[in-house]
Chain A
Amino acid sequence: GQQLNQSPQSMFIQEGEDVSMNCTSSSIFNTWLWYKQDPGEGPVLLIALYKAGELTSNGRLTAQFGITRKDSFLNISASIPSDVGIYFCAGLKSSSNTGKLIFGQGTTLQVKP
């Protein structure tokens, strides 16, 4: 089963507001990935994080790899209607070359124009 706790489960915000979501785990991960999934589509990679403490931006999106390597955060600034979708965090344990990606349960974002 899944090992990542993602919160909040859903968010309903006004256009222009900032959004924050996070992912926590009892296990250490070597890589954190954030994906967005639109209805009827596969997950699309937003940001990849490879080092503890790393802070990476992609346009209005900013994500951080937690110092403990057990958590990660995604922030969206000045939300717009096209930000609507489901956001998934995913952690990768590279030890023993397993390459197994573990996903959170997802955060459903709705933006009111």
Chain B
Amino acid sequence: QQQVKQSPQSLIVQKGGISIINCAYENTAFDYFPWYQQFPGKGPALLIAIRPDVSEKKEGRFTISFNKSAKQFSLHIMDSQPGDSATYFCAASSVSGTYKYIFGTGTRLKVLA
């Protein structure tokens, strides 16, 4: 019940295209859902985050869509650029717990020039 399932494992997108990464969770106590971007040899960096009281959040080219009833959320990267090539992790946490993050397994994105 603590798992966060992430798909796809890897993704190849043409420059200018839309990258879509999906996550699903079981624990209804989760109430904070961040997305992190990680480059090789670096720590994860926060991209964007959402709470379940909104269905969508947009920051620049990055959008999170959230479906509370389906317990799913997704990251959309619009106008994908080669510099977006990285591994993306979704995560979930609960303010009623320790706030520890449960991470998905990651999606390796490659954007072709």
The yes or no verdict on A and B being binding partners is no
